[in-house]
Each structure stands twice: as structure tokens, then as C-alpha cells.
């Protein structure tokens, strides 16, 4: 197999291609794998390495940098291939390529190629949102909280009236949960301020598509339980408690049990007796196969030192408590599951050249700009995301207009 090293990484005129089998450079121009900036649809080795916490830097010896500095030149953008003696430059590049090869050969690429790259492509398809400047200024002036003001200011638009694009960090959290690196802090924006987003289409709407009870339904899926009911907590209530409990009580017990809340704290929260809560939580654990799942996950942690999501993403383990490990597993799986669902909608609308523009992701929700001709097809759009590749269950969407009132 061959891979290319981006010219931006090794300060050269052109990308350089290296053969893993022959341990030497070749003259191939395009390869399926590239280390660094890609100019075509290829797999990025640098991104793959980040998933495994591997960082490699191509370093120019400081004595040569000092020479450039003495000439009052900036070393940024210098094509060192033309400046360094050939033997030194070739040796540096060869050593760097060998380091890439050694690490690359040891890694499992399935998660990256089958899931991460697909979801990353979707995130790259997100487009800047159009903004109502008057509303933004109004909210900034009326807001008293400094943090909220700071968040609002990240939505300041350009001359055309569009926000700057969000740059997402997919490596900042243990589980891969999205973090805004730069651009509009949509994850921290108050709900009541979302109506400052405007459609780019005449008569269009900004709409939010939310997965309903996403992580609970995902947990059912991981336990090989199929739920075709929209209200997953009423489904659990009927299955486990014969419909005798209040829905909100079932929801509290389910989420608290799966994520490790103590029985004492849960009993206090629900104003129920300790023994009654203990009985309910044991039922939930059995139904969700909580103990079997935890034991299987923890066995992997003990054997390999790693926890993997359902899709195969590595998860750093800081806490070995059953609830913590289970929560990390479900949350990390949910990140990719939601993005894969959103991608199904996006790919369909692109294929059929429909005026549907994805703007922001809020964990298990997607904000999009929808043109008027698609309003009557909202149910169709929702159905596209109900089936998530690799997971046997039905995931329901709600769709809400952020510009006007009303659910669809």
C-alpha cells in the first residue's frame, strides 16, 4: 500500500508518496491515504492518528531556522526542500515517513474508514446560517449574563448576513462528543435566541430535527431490544411495569439506573421507599442487560486497556465504575449514530438536489434551512433518519420550526 504526505507537512513543492511494503518513496501522484491536508476524496492518516492519541511532527533542525531568522525572514511558508542540503532534507523526510509507517501498520482502520470519515464528510457539508442582525443586537443589548453575551457575539455575521462557519473539534472529549473549536457557539446558545436564525429561501424556515429519547432507545438497541413505539418510556412502562408507573418516573428510573445514580439519591429524588426503588432499578438493569454489557466492556478494558464504542471508536477510560463505563459506551456510540442518521437525510437531499441546507449539530439534533417546497415532505425527511446504519431499531424524529411556532 502507498500513502502520500502533504506538502504542507514536509515543506515541499509537491506531496510525496511512500510505499509501506518497499519502505521508499514512489512517483504515484494520488493515493487512497494522505497524511495531512487532502486535496481530493481520500483517507486522512493524521485524523486516524488523532483517534489513537498519536501525534507526529515534522521538525526542521533549529540551526537552519536560525539562519532564516538572521536574514529577517519568517520561516512560515518556507519550502525547506529547496533550502536544505538534499541529503539532510531527504533524511528528515525518510525518517518522518518511517515513523508514520510504523504507527500506521499497527492501527485498526475499520472505524475510521467505515464511520468516522462518513460522519466527518457530513460535518464538512454544514453551511453558514443566515442571521437576523436586528434580533442579534437586541438580544446582546438585553442580555445581562456576560457568558451569554460572549456566546451571542460569536454569531456576528459577515457583510452578506451569514454567520462564520463552525469549526468542530472531534477529539476534545473522551467520547468524541462534538465541541465547537471556533465560530458560532451553537451548543451554548439559549433556546429562546435561536429565532435570530433566518432562512436563505423566500418563505423558508429554520427547522430543528431532534431524535426522541435517543440514548434510551440506543441503550435498548445495544440490549437487542426492538421498540417501534414513539414513546420509549411508555413502552418500557408497559414491558416492565405493566403500565402501573407514571411516565416521568419510568424515565427517571431508567436514566438514573443506566448512568449510575445511587438508589438512595434516586429514592430521595422520586420521594419513594429505598426497597421499592431498588426493585425497579433491578428490573431495568435486567431488561437492558446492564450487568452483561458492563462485564463485557470491562473485560475488554482489562485485556486491551481500551473501551470501544459500538462502531469501534476508542474511548479513554478515566473511571471504571459500571455506570461511568456504560455511559461512555452509550454516549460515544450515540455521537456517531446521530451523525450517521443526519447524513442519511443530507445525502438524499443532495442526490435529489433539494433545497435543504444543514447548518448546525446539537448532539442528537440537527438544525437545517428548509425551502417552502419541502414543507409537505417533512415526514419523508424525518423517516430518512429513523434508520441508522448498523443498528436494528427505529429512531423517531421530532421537527420544530425555530422561526414560527408549530411542530410537524
Q: How many domains does the chain have?
A: 2
Question: DSSP letters of 251-279?
Answer: HHHHHHHHTT--HHHHHHHHT--HHHHHH
Which residue shows C-alpha cell 491515504?
Answer: 33
Q: What is the pLDDT of residue 406?
A: 42
Residue 292 resides in a domain? no
Residue 241 resides in a domain? yes
**Joined grid coordinates for residue 10:** 514536509
Residue 252 resides in a domain? yes
What is the span of the domain harbouring residue 247? 232-287
Exposure b/e, 37-50, CB count within 10 A at least 16 = b: ebeeeebbbbbbbe
Give the pTM: 0.90
Q: Looking at residue 355, what DSSP letter applies?
A: S
Domain boundary among 50, 75, 107: 107
Residue 129 resides in a domain? no
Residue 131 resides in a domain? no
Domain boundary among 221, 253, 287: 287
Q: Looking at residue 209, what DSSP letter applies?
A: E
Cα dihedral sign, 28-32-36-41: positive
Degrees, nearest 5: CA angle 356-374-382: 75
How many other C-beta atoms lie within 10 A of the C-beta of residue 161? 14
Environment class of 198 (CB within 10 Å of its CB; exposed 0-12, middle 13-18, buried 19+): buried
Q: What is the pLDDT of residue 404?
A: 53
Residue 44 resides in a domain? yes
Rounded Cα gap, residues 218 and 221, in angstroms: 5
Which residue shows C-alpha cell 466527518?
Answer: 120
Domain boundary among 63, 84, 107: 107
Environment class of 233 (CB within 10 Å of its CB; exposed 0-12, middle 13-18, buried 19+): buried
Provide the residue count of the chain: 408
Residue 8 resides in a domain? yes
Residue 396 resides in a domain? no
Under 8 Å CB-to-CB from 119, ≥6 apart: which residues?
336, 339, 340, 343
Would you write out the chain's pLDDT as a tens digit for each of its 408 residues?
899 999 999 999 999 999 988 888 998 888 899 999 876 667 999 999 999 999 999 999 998 888 887 776 666 678 999 999 999 999 999 999 999 999 999 999 999 999 999 999 999 999 999 999 999 999 999 999 999 999 999 999 998 999 999 999 999 999 999 999 999 999 999 999 999 999 999 999 999 999 999 999 999 999 999 998 999 999 999 999 999 999 999 999 999 998 889 999 999 999 999 999 999 999 999 999 999 999 999 999 988 888 999 999 999 888 889 999 999 999 999 999 999 999 999 999 999 999 999 999 999 999 999 999 999 999 999 999 999 999 989 999 999 999 754 445
Amino acid at each position: 500500500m502507498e500513502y502520500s504526505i502533504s506538502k504542507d507537512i514536509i515543506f515541499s513543492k509537491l506531496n510525496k508518496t511512500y510505499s509501506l511494503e518497499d519502505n521508499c518513496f514512489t512517483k504515484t501522484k494520488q493515493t487512497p491515504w494522505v497524511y495531512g491536508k487532502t486535496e481530493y476524496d481520500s483517507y486522512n492518516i493524521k485524523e486516524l492518528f488523532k483517534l489513537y492519541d498519536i501525534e507526529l511532527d515534522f521538525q526542521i533542525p533549529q540551526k537552519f531556522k536560525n539562519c532564516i531568522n538572521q536574514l529577517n525572514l519568517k520561516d512560515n511558508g518556507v519550502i525547506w526542500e529547496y533550502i536544505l542540503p538534499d541529503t539532510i532534507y531527504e533524511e528528515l523526510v525518510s525518517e518522518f515517513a518511517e515513523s508514520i509507517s510504523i504507527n500506521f501498520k499497527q492501527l485498526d482502520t475499520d472505524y475510521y474508514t467505515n464511520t468516522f470519515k462518513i460522519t466527518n464528510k457530513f460535518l464538512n457539508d454544514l453551511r453558514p446560517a443566515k442571521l437576523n442582525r436586528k434580533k442579534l443586537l437586541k438580544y446582546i443589548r438585553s442580555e445581562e449574563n456576560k457568558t451569554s453575551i460572549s456566546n451571542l457575539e460569536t454569531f456576528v455575521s459577515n457583510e452578506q448576513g451569514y454567520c462564520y462557519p463552525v469549526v468542530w473539534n472531534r477529539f476534545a472529549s473522551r467520547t468524541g462528543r462534538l465541541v465547537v473549536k471556533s465560530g458560532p457557539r451553537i451548543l451554548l446558545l439559549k433556546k429562546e435566541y435561536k429565532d435570530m436564525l433566518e432562512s436563505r429561501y423566500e418563505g423558508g424556515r429554520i427547522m430543528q430535527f431532534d431524535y426522541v429519547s435517543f440514548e434510551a432507545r440506543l441503550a435498548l438497541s445495544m440490549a437487542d431490544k426492538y421498540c417501534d413505539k414513539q414513546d420509549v418510556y411508555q413502552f418500557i412502562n408497559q414491558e416492565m411495569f405493566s403500565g402501573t408507573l407514571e411516565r416521568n418516573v419510568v424515565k427517571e428510573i431508567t436514566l438514573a439506573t443506566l448512568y449510575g445514580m445511587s438508589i438512595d439519591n434516586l429514592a430521595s429524588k422520586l420521594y419513594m421507599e429505598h426497597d421499592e426503588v431498588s426493585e425497579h432499578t433491578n428490573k431495568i438493569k435486567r431488561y437492558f442487560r446492564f450487568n452483561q454489557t458492563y462485564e463485557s466492556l470491562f473485560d475488554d478494558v482489562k485485556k486491551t486497556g481500551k473501551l470501544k464504542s459500538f462502531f469501534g471508536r476508542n474511548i479513554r477510560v478515566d473511571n471504571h465504575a459500571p455506570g461511568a463505563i456504560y455511559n461512555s459506551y452509550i454516549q460515544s456510540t450515540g455521537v456517531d449514530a446521530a451523525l450517521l442518521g443526519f447524513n442519511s437525510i443530507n445525502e438524499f437531499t443532495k442526490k435529489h438536489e433539494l433545497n435543504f441546507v444543514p447548518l448546525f449539530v446539537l448532539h442528537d439534533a440537527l438544525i437545517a434551512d428548509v425551502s417552502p417546497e419541502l414543507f409537505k415532505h417533512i415526514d419523508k425527511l424525518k423517516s430518512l433518519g429513523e434508520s441508522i446504519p448498523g443498528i436494528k431499531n427505529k429512531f423517531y424524529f421530532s421537527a420544530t420550526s425555530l422561526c414560527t411556532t408549530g411542530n410537524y
